[in-house]
Amino acid sequence: MSGFQRYKKILDLFSEERSSWTVLEISKSLKTPSSTIYRIVREMVTAEFLESASGSYFRLGPAFIKFNRIITFSDPLVRAGQPFLKKLANENPITSVNVLARLYGNNVMCVADYKSPTFKKNTSYQRGKLMPLIYGATSKAIIMQITGKRLENLINLENFKSDEHKTNFLKELKNDRKKGYCFTEGQVDKGLIGFAVSISNKKLGIVASLSSIFNLDDFLLEHEPIIYANLTTYGLLVEKYINEIFDDIQKYHHETNSIR
Amino acid sequence: MSGFQRYKKILDLFSEERSSWTVLEISKSLKTPSSTIYRIVREMVTAEFLESASGSYFRLGPAFIKFNRIITFSDPLVRAGQPFLKKLANENPITSVNVLARLYGNNVMCVADYKSPTFKKNTSYQRGKLMPLIYGATSKAIIMQITGKRLENLINLENFKSDEHKTNFLKELKNDRKKGYCFTEGQVDKGLIGFAVSISNKKLGIVASLSSIFNLDDFLLEHEPIIYANLTTYGLLVEKYINEIFDDIQKYHHETNSIR
DNA sequence: ATAAATTTCTCATAAAATGAGAATTATTAA
DNA sequence: TTAATAATTCTCATTTTATGAGAAATTTAT
């Protein structure tokens, strides 16, 4: 264990299911002497990446809330897209969950979501949640932007049920790429359907998607054109705003650099 | 620079105002050779605490979104209080921002907020935001729970305008402690007033507050009793739920320990 | 295609992390 | 309160890792 890994390994123990750990538990889990873990944990508490809770338990610290906030208020994709999610929800013909997701390393992560107040079911689409790479329209509208070697690498990390499954997936991807949008049914959550369009910005290295998720029960065929129209319109708007934000950032850096 | 500090110092450069940095900029700013920074940044990108953006810029990475999510879904205070903020907003006689904040190290941080849809002004009360320790009802309802040496230490970190200011603050604190709630006017944002009650849980080491912020212009004296009644009721409810969550956690750890 | 900027690599040296166990401090129970 | 136990910090010799200067390679811009 060395470098940042030393700290990362500890943080990675914390999850929704298990959000507090004692030093001894960490020590056992990582097979590392407790005197070492005590030292490391103390460091991380000082840095506010962990905080000591009751008993001798430790929890994730406030640093994550702080930095998350900075991202929310400065990430180009979130800044550009967040305000449109609610509008999209309001203009959709039926109650929906609307999601901005992007490729982060080898994962798709939801970075912003807005659920209509009337949407009842709990969904897997929530900010911060990692999504499966090969299931759901949200992810497909992201993967379909990737080609060549990069696509191959990503795909190879996934567990397909069979070779046929894989071939089919790639075929669908090609089709979706032509159509410019994705549709899936029940791939992530039972009883839900998803529609998605791609969002990207080369200069900022953003590979993302905008999607609307509906209850299958609410859905009628006549809704489809409106849904696609909405997604396409807002998708383009988001891209436009990302560009504007990019220009702002450029300008800002230019200024601060010339001042220096 | 050693240990976690090495990484923390880099992360601390990132802010809402300046959310992307090049290695060279970091290197200059921290007065550390760029070959060293390149190595460290690479590590952090691998760990998803940073991500490379356009040009040669780096941004905060997805790890923060992920861990923030884990906190949101597992932090006892957030879990217990979040669902009540909207209810509180709906029951308040006038449009409001409702806030859960807690003491984190030597800072007060907002950990959840709900703004009535009709509330127009932008406020400083947003999840993840660090609040001034000695201004605003939100913070006072937190500080007033602290006594003795700990209070002295906290207070000594603050810049009071004068000795009188400090004495007054401590006097007010005593008063508020007796009354059981706090009120301030325009201390954090001009034109806004705040009401707050304390929330705490010794076993979990939580020192927090629940507060409602209103436009001064909307406020009438007759609203006051309702506001206090709401805050008190919901404050107690939140504490009750924190206790229940605590019991759940205890039970969970008991189970996982005995299985092991 | 060339120049410039960015990033990685190498390696000797300096610095820091490690872990066993002792010492101290908190917590719990009698 | 006291005794017992658990949690945390400390110490230090040893091992491991980080450092930084500059060369080399790669990427990006002209």
Q: What is the pLDDT of residues A67-118, one digit of tens each?
A: 999 998 888 899 999 999 999 999 999 999 999 999 877 789 999 999 998 9
pLDDT for position A260:
34
Enumerate residues 88 to 127 of chain A having a beta carbon within 8 A of any beta carbon in chain B: 104-105, 107, 109, 111, 126-127
**Banded pLDDT at A258 (limits 50, 70, 90):** very low
Residue showing tokens 């089709």: A175
> B81 CA to chain A: closest CA distance, Å?
16
Judged by phi (left if over 0) then psi (alpha if -120 to 50, else beta), residue A145 lies in alpha
Pull the structure tokens for residue B255: 């189970």
Is B109–A5 a contact, with Cβ atoms under 8 angstroms apart?
no
Residue (of A112, A133, A75) closest to A211 by Cα position: A112
- Closest Cβ opposite residue A65 in set B18, B43, B111: B111
Q: What is the rounded average pLDDT of the residues A29-33? A: 96
Which residues does chain A have within 8 Å of residue B130's beta carbon, measured at their own beta carbons? Answer: 66
Q: What is the rounded average pLDDT of the residues A253-259? A: 57
Residue A73 CB partners (closer than 8 Å, separation 6+): A79, B16
3-class DSSP state of B202:
coil
Q: Which CATH number is A75-252's, of 2.30.110.10, 3.30.450.40, 3.40.470.10, 3.40.50.2000?
A: 3.30.450.40
**Distance (Å) of CA B143 to CA B168, B171, B174:** 14, 13, 10
Residue (of B30, B62, B29) closest to B45 by Cα position: B62
Q: How many helices (H) and strands (E) does chain A have?
A: 9, 9
**Distance (Å) of CA B4 to CA A3, A42, A193, B9, B174:** 9, 10, 44, 9, 39
pLDDT for position B260:
33
* Distance linking the first and last C-alpha atoms of chain A: 39
Pull the structure tokens for residue A192: 């839900």
| CATH code for the part of the protein at A4-65 | 1.10.10.10
pLDDT for position A257:
56
Q: Does the pLDDT of residue A254 top 70, yes or no?
A: no
For the domain made up of B5-65, the CATH class stated in words is: mainly alpha
Residues with CB under 7 A from strand C: A 1-2, 6, 32-33, 35-36, 39-40, 55; B 1-3, 22-24, 34-35, 38, 42, 52, 55-56
The per-residue b/e assignment along A170-181, b for 16 or more CB within 10 angstroms, e otherwise, is eebbeebbeeeb
- Closest Cβ opposite residue B70 in set A14, A107, A204: A14
- Rg (C-alpha) for chain A, rounded Å, is 21
Q: What is the pLDDT of residues B182-237, one digit of tens each?
A: 999 999 999 999 999 999 988 788 889 999 999 999 999 999 999 999 999 999 99
Pull the structure tokens for residue A51: 């905080």
* Residues of chain A above pLDDT 90, percent: 68
Residue (of A106, A109, A170, A107) closest to A144 by Cα position: A170
Is B70–A16 a contact, with Cβ atoms under 8 angstroms apart?
yes
| C-beta separation of A60 from A14 below 8 A | yes
What is the reported pTM?
0.85
Per-residue pLDDT of chain B (260 residues), as tens digits, is 789 999 999 999 999 889 999 999 999 999 999 999 999 999 999 999 999 887 889 999 999 999 999 998 888 899 999 999 999 999 999 999 999 999 876 789 899 999 998 998 888 888 888 888 899 999 999 999 888 777 887 888 788 889 999 999 999 999 999 999 999 999 999 999 999 999 998 878 888 999 999 999 999 999 999 999 999 999 999 999 998 888 777 777 666 654 33
**Banded pLDDT at A123 (limits 50, 70, 90):** confident
Task: Outline where B75-185 has alpha helix (H).
Answer: 76-91, 137-143, 148-156, 163-179
Pull the structure tokens for residue A187: 């791939």
Q: What is the pLDDT of residues A198-216, one digit of tens each?
A: 999 887 888 999 999 999 9
pLDDT for position A104:
78
**In chain A, where the domains are located:** 4-65, 75-252
Examine domains B5-65 and B75-252 and report if their fold is the same. Answer: no
Which residues does chain A have within 8 Å of residue B47's beta carbon, measured at their own beta carbons? Answer: 4-5, 8
pLDDT for position B259:
37
Pull the structure tokens for residue A115: 């659920």
